[in-house]
């Protein structure tokens, strides 16, 4: 199988949200000929001003490219984009390659793999681990499931958008690993929120507490940047609360199916859902669970004066 280099393939990208738009831009920056589609025409036209080509619909995009990438919000949207008379599978030529990057259930990934194979399309599920700044800088981690030869062929595309990429196994393995990763991401953020509130209530200076915590070995790299942001109560969405909530639902559904008890995850999901309900239409980062825990504890979420060392 040939490598998917910029001189060998035309690429199409579906879904130009916070992550998708940045990944699409990385592909353009690395010289790939890129067609794009998003239901929001303004997002597609934004990419077009930087060298991409806007297509009218999913089927048109799929019929004119060699590789289709997609980054969409949930299982339902992914199914709608790929199946049906106007979907990717209806429009794509046999031999087309699909790199599906959405966070969806492993069952849905496996279903899509089977449908793709039935019409002569090769597919990998390639889940994304990383924030929007990581996408912009091209330092994402990619978690793939599917054929080893296709994974190897896709490495030029991976190198344009990611720092690390791993093949976890067969169909659905990438999305399964993403659920594992996001379990730690979500539960870890909840644990940090509780620990910080405890520290505040026993008299520690908030800013100093967060600064020192970020220097300890117990905080994962993915959470360190969150500590810097919450120090100044910056909850602008790098990874939106609503998407973490959706991922918690996927995680707990998968756990229920496999009869795996996840009490800490259930508790974190509860707090996440509470904060989402309070936020309502106000889009916040998933780290806003710290704000929620401070409110519950009666702590004003105002940065304190720094303590000088």
Same domain, 19 and 165: yes
Same domain, 135 and 28: yes
Residue 309: per-residue pLDDT: 39
Residue 300: per-residue pLDDT: 76
Q: Find tokens 């025409």 and name the residue.
A: 41
Residue 161 lies in a domain: yes
Q: Domain containing 28: what range?
A: 10-171
Are 248 and 190 within 8 A, CB to CB?
Answer: no
Residue 144: per-residue pLDDT: 98
What is the total count of domains within the chain? Answer: 2
Residue 302 lies in a domain: no
Residue 96 lies in a domain: yes
Residue 301 lies in a domain: no
Same domain, 153 and 185: no
Same domain, 211 and 74: no
Same domain, 149 and 192: no
Pairing of strands 10-14, 67-70: parallel
Residue 307 lies in a domain: no
Which one of 122, 153, 171 terminates a domain? 171
Residue 205: per-residue pLDDT: 96
Pairing of strands 140-146, 122-129: antiparallel
Which one of 151, 171, 191 terminates a domain? 171
Same domain, 132 and 273: no
Residue 200 lies in a domain: yes
Same domain, 163 and 187: no
CATH of the domain at 25: 3.40.50.720
Per-residue pLDDT of the chain (309 residues; tens, 9 = 90+): 899 999 999 999 999 999 999 999 999 999 999 999 999 999 999 899 999 999 999 999 999 999 999 999 999 999 999 998 999 999 999 999 999 999 999 999 999 999 999 999 999 999 999 989 999 999 999 999 999 999 999 999 999 999 999 999 999 999 999 999 999 999 999 999 999 999 999 999 999 999 999 999 999 999 999 999 999 999 999 899 999 999 999 999 999 999 999 999 999 999 999 999 988 768 999 999 999 999 999 997 554 444 433
For the whole model, what pTM was predicted? 0.93
128 conformational bin, left if phi > 0, alpha if psi -120 to 50, beta if neither: beta
Residue 262: per-residue pLDDT: 98
Same domain, 166 and 287: no
CATH of the domain at 207: 1.10.1040.10
Name which of 136, 143, 192 is nearest 167 in CA terms: 143
Which one of 171, 186, 220 terminates a domain? 171
The CA distances from residue 68 to 17, 61, 156, in Å, are: 16, 8, 14
Residue 308: per-residue pLDDT: 39
Are 205 and 307 within 8 A, CB to CB?
Answer: yes
Same domain, 155 and 29: yes
Same domain, 161 and 188: no
Residue 282: per-residue pLDDT: 80
284 conformational bin, left if phi > 0, alpha if psi -120 to 50, beta if neither: beta
Same domain, 83 and 150: yes
How far is Cα 52 from Cα 101, in angstroms, rounded to an integer? Answer: 19
Residue 307: per-residue pLDDT: 42
Residue 47 lies in a domain: yes
Same domain, 145 and 205: no
Are 297 and 201 within 8 A, CB to CB?
Answer: yes
């Amino acid at each position: 199988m040939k490598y998917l280099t910029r001189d060998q393939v035309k690429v199409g990208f579906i879904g130009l949200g916070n992550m998708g738009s940045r990944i699409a831009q990385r592909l353009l920056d690395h010289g790939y000929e890129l067609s794009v589609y998003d239901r929001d025409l303004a997002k597609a036209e934004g990419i077009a001003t930087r060298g991409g080509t806007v297509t009218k619909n999913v089927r048109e995009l799929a019929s004119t490219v060699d590789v289709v990438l997609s980054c969409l919000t949930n299982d339902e949207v992914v199914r709608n984009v790929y199946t049906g008379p106007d979907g990717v599978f209806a429009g794509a030529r046999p031999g087309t390659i699909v790199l599906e990057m959405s966070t969806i259930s492993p069952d849905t990934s496996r279903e899509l793999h089977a449908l793709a194979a039935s019409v002569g399309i090769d597919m990998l599920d390639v889940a994304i681990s990383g924030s929007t700044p990581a996408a912009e800088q091209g330092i994402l981690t990619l978690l793939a499931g599917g054929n080893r030869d296709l994974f190897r062929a896709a490495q030029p595309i991976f190198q344009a958008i990611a720092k690390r990429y791993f093949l976890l196994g067969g169909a659905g393995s990438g999305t399964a690993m993403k659920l594992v990763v996001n379990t730690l991401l979500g539960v870890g953020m909840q644990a940090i929120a509780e620990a910080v509130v405890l520290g505040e209530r026993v008299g520690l200076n908030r800013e100093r507490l967060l600064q020192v915590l970020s220097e300890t070995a117990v905080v994962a790299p993915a959470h360190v940047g969150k500590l810097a942001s919450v120090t100044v109560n910056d909850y602008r969405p790098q990874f939106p609360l609503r998407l973490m909530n959706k991922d918690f639902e996927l995680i707990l559904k998968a756990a229920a199916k496999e009869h795996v008890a996840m009490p800490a995850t259930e508790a974190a999901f509860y707090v996440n859902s509470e904060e989402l309900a309070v936020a309502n239409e106000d889009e916040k980062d998933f780290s806003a669970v710290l704000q929620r825990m401070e409110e519950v504890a009666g702590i004003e979420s105002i940065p304190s004066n720094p303590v000088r060392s």
